[in-house]
Amino acid sequence: MLDPKKALHGVFGFPVTPFQKDLSLDLPALERNCDWMAGYPFCSQVIAGGTGEVYSMTPDESIECVRVAVKAINGRMPVVAGVAYNTTLACYMAREMEKAGAEALLVMPPYYINAPEEGMFQYFEAIGNSCGLPLSFYTRDWAAFSPSQVKRLLDRVPSLKMWKDGQGDMRKYQRIICEVGDRIAWVGGIGDDCAPGYFAVGCQAYTSSISNIAPKLSLAIAEKGLKGDFAGLAALMKKYVHPLYALRDRSRGYEVSIMKAAMEVLGHPAGPVRPPLTNITESEWADVRALMEIYTDML
């Protein structure tokens, strides 16, 4: 079994899921993009994650994306696969993604936003018992946990080996890491713009949507973060990351839409987003093109 604590340091690549104009899967484009990204030393690629629009796909579409990615990556790095929705579907996805070659799972919170602690713990237990893969919890949106809850969850679910923060609350994340210690891998997951904070509190890796357009930049961010070069990180944030995230902040869901537009500008097939996300406006394409000119020295 993959040991995330030992094996996954640096940057997780987060490929988008390319779609055709009719919003059907573009699997040849996914294969090309994953193959290209695997040419860079990411610690893993995460397929059917949030950037991969898992919530807009059927479970079988996500499973097929994992099959395609595993083939394209061809052992150059582990594939982490996203599972979601509810206990029954997440367990089905976990089993099939393991068969497809995934080496770990990124578990999204269940769809029901008012789940009690015990129900959440049972959700994770069921997924862990359904397969032989290590799990990572993505603590996004409403699924925020206290340090004591994290300790109890780890005691209940032995296969939970990685924690991907999606809250961006460095105060609480630091408390969780300090209280729980080195039992699992701590990963920053809300965005490239939060990488300085994540490395400052002790994360061993972060997840990067910028990996879709500028792998060299993602890797430079991780290198400086792991070395504690926060002045160097600040320079990268100012020149490249903050301008990109300013575009992403223009509309809800643009964290995917802007990345897909940037990929298209740079010649990487991405296609449109699926509802409930929306594509960028015509006028915003010029802004994306102008920003990609700034990125030239990182391509």
Residue 86 lies in a domain: yes
Domain count, the chain: 1
The secondary structure of 49-111, three-state, reads CCCCCHHHCCHHHHHHHHHHHHHHHCCCCCEEEEECCCHHHHHHHHHHHHHHCCCEEEECCCC
pLDDT of residue 227: 98
Residue 219 in domain? yes
The answer to whether position 287 is within a domain reads: no
Is residue 41 a part of any domain in this protein?
yes
Segment 175-188 shows an average pLDDT of 97
What is the reported pLDDT for 283? 95
pLDDT at 154: 97
Domain that holds residue 115: 4-228
Burial (CB < 10 A; 0-12, 13-18, 19+), residue 280, is buried
Tell me whether strands 79-83 and 185-188 are parallel, antiparallel or unpaired.
unpaired
Write the pLDDT tens digit of every residue in 53-91: 999 999 999 999 999 999 999 999 999 999 999 999 999
Is the pTM above the cut of 0.85? yes
Q: Is a pLDDT exceeding 90 seen at residue 241?
A: yes
| Separation CA 57–CA 40 (nearest Å) | 27
**Cβ contacts of residue 281 below 8 Å, gap of 6+?**
none
Q: Does 166 have pLDDT greater than 90?
A: yes
Is residue 290 in some structural domain?
A: no
* Three-point CA angle 42, 162, 240, nearest 5°: 40
Whether 258 maps to a domain, the answer reads: no
Mean per-residue pLDDT over the chain, rounded? 97
> Could you tell me if residue 246 is inside a domain?
no
Q: In what helix (H) or strand (E) does residue 165 lie, and over which residues does it extend?
A: strand 160-166
Predicted pLDDT at 281: 97
Mean pLDDT confidence for 21-36: 98
Does residue 152 lie within any of the structural domains? yes
- Name the residue among 205, 197, 209 with its Cα closest to residue 168: 197
The separation between CA 17 and the C-alpha centre of its own chain, rounded to angstroms, equals 12
pLDDT (0 to 100) of residue 258:
98
Segment 129-145, tens digit of pLDDT: 999 999 999 999 999 99
Task: Check which CATH number belongs to the domain holding 170 and give it.
Answer: 3.20.20.70
Answer yes or no: is pLDDT of 210 > 90. Answer: yes
- In this prediction, residue 1 carries a pLDDT of 87
